[in-house]
């Protein structure tokens, strides 16, 4: 929970005069978001009301005022530090301005001379100043609210509270460092285990890959041996076919060469037989002629002898 809206009655101000912001000659010496209302301690939670819009608000983050927007139909309630449906929050009083001589020509941006530690002025160029009060901050470590004080042109917590908070912060830091070291040790142990597991997995993968490569090489060698055996078998078949073809051709040549010789021999034999038959026939004819001639001669000689005998 944070402080209530800025109340001009909390300041000791005499002769408060209201001015409109429409005057083009008047402007604030501080530009941008109200970072001066945010403490440098990042653990403190501070919410701020927007200076113009009731549907917006600021949240202090690392010493800076970050602007946020409420959802549609909601308005920021500073007392609850949250957006609500109360549209009456948009009704605000005009800002209270007080003339401060030190603020002329923006010689100073802030002034808290003679004021309470939590009160200060925001200077304008014409010498007027807007009364402001440092907000309340919520300490989540102790669940308590702290009234911030304006120190070195910024709302900060008191020195004692700051020292206690710094001690708590140091303790938290040491505790965080110890937890971080433990987490690092655990993380290193987990990383070591993961590395060992990964190394084992990589070794297993490498062994599997080497086995796969060896089995693949063996399969390739077997396949090559089969291919070589098939090639040698094909070559043997081709050689056998070539030899059988050559033998067949030689046999055919021999047969084709033997057939005319056999025909010639047969022709010679038939010629010899015909010659022998012719000789035998001629011999028989000669013998028959000789017999006939000798018989005729014998008859003639016999006839002559008979004739001579008759004579």
Walk along the chain (311 residues) in steps of 10 and give the mean pLDDT of each run.
Answer: 37 36 70 91 91 93 94 92 90 83 89 89 91 91 90 81 66 85 83 83 87 88 88 89 87 76 79 84 83 83 80 66
Per-residue three-class SS string for 221-261: HHHHHHHHHHHHHHHHHHHHHHHHHHHHHHHHHHHHHHHHH
pLDDT of residue 24: 54
pLDDT of residue 189: 80
pLDDT of residue 7: 39
pLDDT of residue 19: 37
d(CA 69, CA 89): 15
pLDDT of residue 165: 61
d(CA 85, CA 74): 5
pLDDT of residue 187: 80
Torsion-angle region of 81 (φ positive above 0: left; ψ -120 to 50: alpha; else: beta): left
pLDDT of residue 285: 83
SS3 content of the chain, % helix, strand, coil (to 5): 50, 20, 30
Q: How many CB atoms lie within 10 A of CB 100?
A: 19
d(CA 171, CA 81): 29
pLDDT of residue 149: 92
pLDDT of residue 21: 38
pLDDT of residue 85: 92
Residues 244, 250, 252, 255, Cα dihedral to 10°: -140
Q: Where are the alpha helices (DSSP H) in the chain?
A: 159-310
pLDDT of residue 253: 81
Closest CA to 161 of 172, 146, 173: 146
Residues 53, 59, 61, 66, Cα dihedral to 10°: -20
End-to-end CA distance of the chain: 207
Closest CA to 14 of 125, 108, 135, 115: 115
Report the SS3 class of residue 129: strand
Closest CA to 109 of 57, 32, 171: 32
Q: How many CB atoms lie within 10 A of CB 140?
A: 9
d(CA 78, CA 63): 19
Residue 35 DSSP one-character state: G
């Amino acid at each position: 929970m944070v402080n209530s809206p800025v109340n001009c009655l909390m300041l000791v101000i005499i002769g408060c005069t209201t001015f409109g912001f429409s005057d083009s000659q008047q402007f604030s010496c501080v530009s941008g978001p109200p970072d001066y209302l945010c403490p440098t301690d990042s653990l403190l939670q501070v919410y701020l009301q927007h200076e113009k819009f009731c549907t917006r608000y600021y949240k202090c983050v690392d010493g800076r005022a970050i602007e946020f927007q409420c959802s549609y139909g909601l308005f920021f309630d500073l007392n609850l530090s949250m957006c609500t449906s109360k549209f009456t929050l948009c009704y605000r009083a005009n800002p209270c301005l007080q003339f401060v001589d030190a603020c002329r020509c923006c010689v100073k941006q802030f002034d808290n001379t003679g004021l309470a530690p939590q009160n200060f002025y925001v200077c304008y160029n014409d010498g007027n100043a807007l009364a402001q009060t440092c907000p309340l901050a919520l300490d989540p470590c102790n669940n308590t609210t702290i009234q911030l004080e304006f120190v070195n042109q910024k709302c900060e917590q008191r020195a004692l509270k700051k020292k206690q908070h710094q001690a708590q912060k140091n303790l938290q830091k040491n505790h965080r460092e110890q937890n971080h070291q433990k987490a690092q040790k655990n993380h290193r142990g987990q990383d070591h285990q993961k590395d060992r597991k990964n190394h084992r997995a990589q070794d297993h993968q490498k062994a599997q890959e080497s086995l796969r490569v060896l089995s693949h090489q063996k399969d390739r060698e077997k396949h090559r041996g089969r291919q070589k055996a098939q090639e040698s078998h094909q070559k043997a078949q081709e050689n056998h076919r070539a030899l059988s073809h050559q033998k067949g051709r030689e046999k055919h040549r021999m047969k084709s060469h033997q057939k005319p010789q056999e025909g010639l021999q047969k022709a010679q034999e038939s010629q010899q037989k015909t010659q022998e038959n012719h000789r035998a026939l001629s011999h028989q004819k000669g013998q028959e002629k000789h017999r006939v001639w000798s018989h005729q001669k014998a008859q003639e000689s016999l006839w002559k002898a008979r004739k001579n005998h008759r004579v």
